[in-house]
């Protein structure tokens, strides 16, 4: 007798709320991204020093990530999420009034503590609230909301740069406070989120996750993603456009939007397919495509060719992002895992720290081509690490009934 295909679970209202907040946050991030390197350079510093402004944010994210994981476990996801957003809003607004390079670095570094708080707690909320059979879809929605904001943000940000390099920081701070208000208003009475201190869900130790080949591979690709997307692309692409392609800063916003658009095309499709076909195949293809587009960046000589390479890299990143996040959720199952999530985020932050500095040195000492070649090569290395890793998606109960190992072994508990 053929197995009955089960209807996929519905995505809870709370997930849609944090997806909407993610969109608001992303618009603000997209405003600042094209302005940040140029703003740093306005203090008469080198390409490497301008890249350090991006790395400073990631350094404090990395250092504070373990603390954020513990705070999520003790205080609850919602409170940590709102506190983190508020910290980033205040420090970002203050950047608009920086008068020295060191002030900009210090404010961005302080903002990194709040960023890791809302990132770790936001992913924890997403995993906690989403049924296992739609994790890829929910991760796709999460990623799509961020990328849609990144499509709109740089376009507006590019126009703001024409007015003032300081204006994007003020607008970003405002957007973050709107996100704080949205989450507080709609989640303050949620019955799916357990009050701090009342959640009896077991916690997964980090050492257990580190014995899983899928989690180790996810850490590797997260590192590469941080290096390329949150590090090199933010710090070097605007400079490549102005110093090699000889276009103005406004076009840098357009280029980042084109990359984000390529992401959006693939994110939702990738998330849905990863719930059906598995996480690993899409991650492997995504890493290879992303590597090809990134390496191509450094050898482009025309604006048209550069934009095509940007689309290719964006498609690759969109392919791998939802299944990569779903892998971590599969490994955790129904357990809480503040340190597991924090370590996953730390891997991306290490990449975001090292990427701009190493690539900046390569661009200064050799060429932009070498900087992008090394970045793309790391994606190929990550693909090789994924080849022997296990597929974390398991199908239990026939076609269409998708769950994870932890769900199969543990009875479902009602969320308090």
More confident residue, 213 or 45: 213
> Any idea which residue has 């990194």 for tokens?
112
Q: CB-based contacts of 231: which residues, under 8 Å, 6+ apart?
A: 54, 55, 58, 351, 352, 353, 354, 355, 356, 359
Instruction: Give the range among 94-98, 267-271, 390-394, 395-399 with minimum mean pLDDT.
Output: 395-399
Separation of alpha carbons 296 and 237, rounded Å: 13
Kindly report the average pLDDT of the chain as a whole number: 75
Q: What is the mean pLDDT of residues 295-317?
A: 81
pLDDT category at 349 given cuts 50, 70, 90 is: confident
Decide: 416 and 199 in contact? Cβ < 8 Å.
yes
Q: Both tokens of residue 229?
A: 């997307």
Tell me how far apart the alpha carbons of residues 109 and 53 are, in angstroms, rounded to a whole number.
8
Distance CA 120, CA 140 (A): 17
Q: Which residues pair with 403 in a beta bridge?
A: 394
Tell me if residue 404 falls in helix, strand or coil: coil
CA–CA gap between residue 55 and residue 231 (Å, rounded): 7
The answer to whether the beta carbons of residues 58 and 112 sit under 8 Å apart is yes
Task: Please report the pLDDT score of residue 338 as a whole number.
Answer: 65
More confident residue, 47 or 416: 47
Please report, in angstroms and rounded to a whole number, the separation of the first and last CA atoms in the chain.
37
Q: What are residue 203's DSSP bridge partners?
A: 336
Distances, alpha carbon 150 to alpha carbons 78, 156, 219, 229, 317, in Å: 24, 10, 24, 12, 14
Residue among 113, 331, 16 nearest 205 (CA): 331
DSSP 416: -
Cα separation, 97 vs 106, in Å, equals: 13
| Residue that the structure tokens 């405002």 belong to | 174
All residues at 6 or more sequence positions from 27 whose CB lies less than 8 Å from its CB, including other chains: 149, 150, 152, 153, 156, 175
In 3D space, the residue among 322, 244, 335, 233 whose CA is nearest the CA of residue 286 turns out to be 322
* Biggest CA-to-CA distance, the chain: 73
* Interval 127-165: pLDDT, tens: 777 766 666 677 777 777 776 776 676 666 666 666 777
Q: What's the whole-model pTM score?
A: 0.66
C-beta separation of 360 from 236 below 8 A: yes
266 vs 249: CA distance, rounded Å? 27
Q: Is the pLDDT of residue 388 over 50?
A: yes
pLDDT band at 408 (very low <50, low <70, confident <90, very high): very low
- Convert the pLDDT of each residue in 213-253 to its tens digit: 888 888 998 898 888 877 777 777 777 777 777 666 666 66
**Class level of CATH domain 13-409:** mainly alpha
What pLDDT is recorded for position 1?
42
Are residues 55 and 352 in contact, defined by beta-carbon separation less than 8 angstroms? yes
Contacts of 201 (CB under 8 A, 6+ apart): 194, 334, 335, 336, 413
């Amino acid at each position: 007798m053929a197995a009955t295909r089960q209807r996929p679970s519905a995505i809870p209202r709370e997930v849609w709320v944090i997806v909407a907040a993610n969109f608001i946050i992303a618009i603000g991030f997209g405003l600042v991204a094209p302005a940040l390197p140029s703003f740093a350079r306005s203090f008469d510093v080198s390409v490497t020093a301008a890249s350090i402004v991006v790395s400073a944010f990631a350094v404090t994210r990395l250092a504070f990530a373990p603390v954020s994981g513990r705070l999520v476990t003790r205080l609850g996801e919602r409170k940590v999420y709102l506190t983190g957003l508020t910290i980033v809003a205040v420090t970002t607004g203050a950047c608009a009034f920086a008068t020295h390079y060191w002030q900009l670095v210090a404010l961005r570094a302080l903002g990194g503590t709040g960023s890791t708080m809302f990132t770790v707690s936001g992913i924890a909320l997403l995993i906690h609230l989403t049924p296992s059979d739609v994790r890829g879809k929910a991760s796709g929605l999460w990623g799509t909301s961020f990328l849609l904001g990144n499509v709109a943000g740089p376009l507006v940000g590019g126009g703001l740069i024409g007015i003032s390099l300081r204006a994007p920081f003020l607008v970003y701070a405002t957007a973050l406070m709107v996100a704080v208000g949205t989450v507080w208003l709609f989640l303050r009475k949620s019955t799916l989120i357990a009050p701090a201190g009342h959640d009896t869900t077991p916690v997964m130790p980090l050492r257990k996750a580190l014995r899983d080949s899928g989690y180790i591979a996810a850490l590797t690709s997260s590192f590469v993603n941080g290096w390329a997307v949150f590090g090199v692309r933010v710090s070097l692409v605007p400079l490549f456009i102005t110093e090699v392609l000889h276009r103005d800063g406004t076009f840098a916003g357009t280029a980042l939007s084109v990359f984000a658009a390529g992401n959006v095309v693939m994110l939702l499709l990738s998330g849905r397919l990863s719930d059906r076909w598995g996480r690993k195949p899409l991650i492997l293809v995504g890493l290879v495509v992303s590597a090809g587009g990134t390496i191509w960046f450094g050898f482009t000589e025309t604006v048209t060719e550069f934009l095509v390479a940007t689309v290719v890299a964006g498609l690759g990143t969109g392919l791998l992002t939802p299944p990569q996040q779903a892998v971590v959720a599969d490994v955790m199952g129904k357990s809480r895992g503040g340190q597991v999530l924090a370590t996953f985020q730390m891997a991306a932050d290490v990449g975001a720290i090292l990427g701009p500095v190493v690539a900046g040195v390569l661009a200064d000492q050799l060429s932009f081509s070498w900087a992008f070649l090394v970045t793309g090569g790391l994606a190929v290395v990550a693909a090789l690490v994924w080849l022997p890793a296990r597929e974390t998606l398991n199908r239990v109960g026939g076609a269409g009934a998708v769950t994870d190992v932890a769900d199969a072994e543990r009875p479902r508990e009602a969320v308090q």
